[in-house]
Amino acid sequence: MRRALVLLLVVASCDPQVDSAYAGEPLVTLHGQVISSRPLPTALEAAMLWQRGPPPSTDQEDLATRAPVQSGFPATFTVHLYQPPPAAARKTLAPGEVTYARANAAAIPYGIASAGVDSLPRTANPGYGIDANHWIVYLAADVPQHSLMEWWLGAALPAGFHLMAVAAVNPRCITSDQLNACVADLAQRGVADNTTAQSFCLEPYKLSPAPPGEQLVLDLGSVGLGPAGGACP
């Protein structure tokens, strides 16, 4: 069995019970476990990494929160996120579109400083890995229907946090008819420039809302969305 980190995304309820140590209601809680057929790193932390770079890159990250992975069988963790995304991670697809931010669930070596995440060795690092097949997306407002943002997400989602499935796409497999249909669709959504529309249509990934209850699986050693392999359908 290959090593994997299984996470569940849970939006916490809003019924605070205050005491002297109360930190506020978490915006998002991540639960998970580490399962592996080989020994785990002796010290490992679960983390949430906000991505500052353009999608689908994962090489400019802000460490939002982390928690130690508890030893045992299985090894488990719980991560609470109490703060919204930082300004550096907030972006729009185009002027007038809803502001969003995206994050990856990750495992990182224990005790690394926040500023050290970008400098982590990625290749074959047994203490680092992300779930490249899912993004945690924050939306600052409801996504309007018939908007570019609805097309990008695969649905007109409400404001808040959402678990998104990310599928790799090989742009060379997109036919001219498919590209023309995509460009025409985006023109109806306000993307008037043909070159800009084509760049959206030829992105190497596709988003869709993850099914309810779908688990995040962390692949240690994975550093980003891989290319879509195999022959074109």
Nearest Cα neighbor of 33 from 64, 9, 11, 8 is 8
Whether residue 123 is found in the same domain as residue 155:
yes
Quick one: 194 and 104 in the same domain?
Answer: no
DSSP 8-state secondary structure symbol assigned to residue 54: S
Measured CA angle at 76 (ends 72, 82), to 5 deg: 150
> What 3-state class would DSSP assign to 77?
strand
Compute the chain's Rg from CA coordinates. 19
Closest alpha carbon to 129 in 47, 63, 71, 73:
47
pLDDT tens figures, 22-63? 667 888 777 776 655 566 667 788 888 899 999 998 888 888
Residue 54 lies in a domain: yes
Confidence (pTM): 0.83
Regarding whether 174 and 162 lie in a shared domain, the answer is: no
3-state secondary structure of 45: strand
Range of the domain at 34: 4-12+24-168+205-220
pLDDT tens, residue by residue, 127-162? 777 888 889 999 999 999 999 999 999 999 999 989
Pull the structure tokens for residue 203. 């992105």
